[in-house]
Structure 1
Amino acid sequence: MIVDLPDTTTSQISKSLVKIREEGGAVALGRVLTLIIAAKPGTEEEAIEAANDASREHPMRVIVIATEPGAEARLDAEIRVGGDAGASEVIILHAVGDAATDEQSLVMGLLLPDAPVVTWWPGAAPEVPGASPLGRIAHRRITDASAQPDPQGALGRLADSYLPGDTDFAWTRLTLWRAQLAAVLDQPPYEPVTAVQVAGSADSPSTTLLAAWLHDTLGAETEYELTHRPDSHGIHGVSLVRPSGTVDLIRSVTNVATLTQPNQPTHDLALPRRNLRDCLADELRRLDPDELYGEVITTALADLGAPTTITTGALA
């Protein structure tokens, strides 16, 4: 069910939600959180689709707020429930002019009572997410450095503005890589790693965070290359140097990585790039601060040093 509410108010939106529940049987019982999506007008649908998919694991109320300047103050809304909203209620707010100046007031009356709040900026994020109007009311704040005009530069801004509760999809996309590398190092021979090499695309902040995490965790000399390859994105591969030889985990084919170890057969492993739905569902599984991310973004990243940026090439 989709209900359009042109030129409305938050009070009228709340009354419409109550009416929909009473007449259609849709209820908010079982909703575990409120997800606020701050999106640019015209870009909302991809984020809504990811939220609807994630809601099957995390039933929630989704409030999408899109603002733009204008001479006339106006608030248009749309409510989606049932099959049009997965296992969530979706409230889309399109605010123009003076109606867009106070985002916090627009959403406060629509939050689920006594439920955690998560704010997600799928595109451009505030300079200090935790101090922004929508960030101050959130338990968790999700940004995406890869969606910024300068993905690598965005990491530095995230480090400077970090507050407990912040996280970024550039970190979430590392979950499978971190798990696979940890599994390799948890097997014999139990030797120290003496050097680390990481390679990835220049538009991949995840590559930089992976290098920072490995450098911090292993305490080994770490080099990382950021390459400009129009045919490839994301992380390309990792090499871990140990006394008995080098462990290579290289993703030269989309969604598949090759693991090569001394005196071991070569294995092909599923290592797909995580989509928005997977990243969002992963982040919604925990509503407490991600302390490891905080350590990596604020401390390990500063200790990493500068990358080697080249035009073409792969992991040495």
Structure 2
Amino acid sequence: MQKDFKNLIQEKIDTKTKPLGALGMLEKLAFQIASVQKTLTPELVAPHIIVFAGSHGIAAQGVSAYPSEVTAQMVLNFLHGGAAINVFTKQHGIALKVVDAGVDFEFVNHEKLVNAKVGFGTKNFLESPAMTQAEFEQCLEKGAELVRQVRKSGCNVIGFGEMGIGNTSAAAVIMSKLLGLPIEACVGKGTGLDDAQLDKKTALLQAAIDFHENVNNTPKGVLRTFGGFEIAMMCGAMMEAGAQDMLLLVDGFIASVAYLCAFQMKPELKNNAVFCHQSDEKGHRLLLEKLNAEPVLSLGMRLGEGTGCAVAYPILQSAAAFLNEMASFESAGVSSKSV
């Protein structure tokens, strides 16, 4: 974007009837929204959140407090409108799409379920790569295609969520590998493990890292080896959202790891990304620091599903609203700060 236009955005923000910087993060968000949309009068149109669901082979090792079948059960809960993400998207007028990226369950055709199934769950990455190269590429393309379809509806702001028992394990290993951090710094209690279970989880993930010590430390290599179908599909969707000049809402720990992969492949994606909240999952604060990302909210949430995106969305609406509707010193006849 031309420097002159960025200056125009900042001038519009600075000449509103307020002290410089008085709206804090709302000013940063307004600047970002206007920059992404390349207009001084930005609008948030037809907001969507896509929730990707996938089963993980590593879940068989007991890395979660919940059994693997909860993934399918929660997808059904989404479809019946009973989950937190249903409540928050309904509250804020956000369209919700639920995607079977690779759940170990045969869903009966449901009008609200998008069937993008790549397989019935990934393989156990303690024993082999989580997915084949063909499966990985299919995930990226299906994620991108879903975003292209949503874009046709006029949507220019999109968030992503996930559901997959075991996916904090996958995400922790991906973060560890791509950022060169010890697994202990990245792994957390996920769905609510106790200390002994966390120690077991950490040891298992270190064993997986050791087993795949020759894996190429590229986002594609690491994501294929350790990722879930839902994480890989989300990564492809994020890259396409950037290519479509959409505002990209990043949820919690899992979504931020998907973003890390996408960002390392397409660094310009940073211009489009809004980090909606800091998850209570242990590795997320460190990951946000490494990404030099400032989260909009910090509410102690660690649910996933895209809930952080939905809860943060009204704040983005406020940012766009003040930029468009708040009077300037000149239009309001208010004296500006004397120099």
Give TM-score scaled by structure 2 length.
0.33
Higher normalized contact order (CA 8 Å, seq sep 6+, divided by chain length): 2
Question: 1 or 2, which has the higher helix percentage?
Answer: 2
Give TM-score scaled by structure 1 length.
0.35
Question: 1 or 2, which has the higher strand percentage?
Answer: 1
The structure with the larger Rg is 1
